[in-house]
Amino acid sequence: MKRILYHPLVLSLFVVAVFIFSNWQGWLETPKDIFFRLTGQGQKIIYQFSLRTDNFIRFFVSIKGLEQENIRHKQNNERLLGELALLREVSRENEFLREQIALSAAEPNQLILADVIGYNLSGLEKYLLINKGERDGVKEKAAVITAGNVLVGQITETLETFSKVRLISDPSSRVNSIIQESRTMGLVKGDRGLDFFIDLLPQGRDIKKGETIISSGLAGFFPSGLLIGHIQEIISSDAQISQTAKIDPAADFTRLEKVFVIVE
């Protein structure tokens, strides 16, 4: 009996079990926070150094296609400037109509700016670690966005000064969404690897490549109108109950430096 109890495997599993129990009871929150405070600064430096090195390498790899990319961006910029002018007019019209019917304008979200200090891609998961926590007003289940109102993920764990963010491309993530052009509702799901889908699109709806996907706000987990990405490819057949499409995400999850946490 004593031999079994002192077996290295039994001892290791016992130690891990003690930690699982302590975490479940909430006793590890302070030690975890101290741990992140000790490693946080080093983590931030290594992460940002890796990010810059990667950017530098990518720049040299893509140097050949830069001219073409520049032309494409200029064309896009011209098109977007045209759309912006049109939207300004619509916005003024909208403001005027709201005043006429005494409808109050939607209040802008309050945001907390946070630095990304870590990124976990292995072990079947996609998570970010940010340097803002409960002390800064971050709450569990809050939506996380990046510049341009692009949805990045959701807070899953908060410590005093740090939080973990589950990316929307994580296999366990689900976001109620809508295709902006056709108003077709669907469910955005992550997957392992780089794939990222919108599922449960009704059959018979004409879904086109390049259409914009935004959060619908249904179920209340994410605010509505946050940009998710664009339709890249329809991958389901007519024989299936619903349609599925691959998404080209609007955010590059692997190169995030700063994010915003939406405060309700």
Partner 1 sequence: MKNLLIILALLLAAVLQTTAVPFLAFKGVSPNLILVLILFLVIWKGFKQAWWIIVLAVLFYDNFAGLFFGLISLSMVVIAYLIDWLNRTVFSKVRFWIVAGLVAGGTLGYNLLLVVLDRLFQGILTFDLKYVLIEAAYNSLLAAFLFIPAKRIFNRVKNRKYGA
Question: What does the per-residue mask of binding to partner 1 show for 169-188, with x meaning CB under 8 A?
Answer: -xxx----------------
Q: Which of residues 240-259 bind partner 1 (CB under 8 A)?
A: 254
> Is the Cα torsion angle 124, 23, 138, 46 positive or negative in sign?
negative
Three-state helix/strand/coil letters over the chain: CHHHHCCHHHHHHHHHHHHHHHHHHCCCHHHHHHHHHHHHHHHHHHHHHHHHHHHHHHHHHCHHHHHHHHHHHHHHHHHHHHHHHHHHHHHHHHHHHHHHCCCCCCCCCEEEEEEEEEEECCCCCCEEEECCCHHHCCCCCCEEEECCCEEEEEEEEECCCCEEEEECCCCCCEEEEEECCCCEEEEEEECCCCCEEEEEEECCCCCCCCCEEEECCHHHCCCCCCEEEEEEEECCCCCCCEEEEEEEECCCHHHCCEEEEEEC
Q: CB of 188: closest distance to partner 1 in angstroms? A: 15
Distance in angstroms (rounded) separating the CA atoms of residues 83 and 28: 51
Distance in angstroms (rounded) separating the CA atoms of residues 144 and 150: 9
Q: Which pair of structure tokens corresponds to residue 144? A: 């996380």
| Pick 39 or 224: Cβ nearer partner 1 | 39
Establish if 221 lies at the interface with partner 1 (CB under 8 A). Answer: no
Q: Give the binding range for partner 1 (CB under 8 A) out of 46-54, 107-115, 204-212, 222-230.
A: 46-54
Establish if 35 lies at the interface with partner 1 (CB under 8 A). Answer: yes
Establish if 50 lies at the interface with partner 1 (CB under 8 A). Answer: yes
Establish if 193 lies at the interface with partner 1 (CB under 8 A). Answer: yes
Q: Give the binding range for partner 1 (CB under 8 A) out of 40-48, 67-75, 175-183, 221-229.
A: 40-48
Q: CB of 93: closest distance to partner 1 in angstroms? A: 43
| Pick 47 or 222: Cβ nearer partner 1 | 47
Establish if 197 lies at the interface with partner 1 (CB under 8 A). Answer: no
Q: CB of 263: closest distance to partner 1 in angstroms? A: 21
Interface with partner 1 (CB under 8 A), residue from 29, 37, 109, 127: 127
Q: Give the binding range for partner 1 (CB under 8 A) out of 32-40, 60-68, 75-83, 222-230.
A: 32-40
| Pick 117 or 168: Cβ nearer partner 1 | 117
Interface with partner 1 (CB under 8 A), residue from 27, 34, 54, 69: 54
Q: Give the binding range for partner 1 (CB under 8 A) out of 30-38, 68-76, 217-225, 243-251.
A: 30-38
Q: CB of 23: closest distance to partner 1 in angstroms? A: 4
> 105, 193, 12, 200: which is closest to 213 by C-alpha?
200
Q: Give the binding range for partner 1 (CB under 8 A) out of 10-18, 101-109, 179-187, 216-224.
A: 10-18
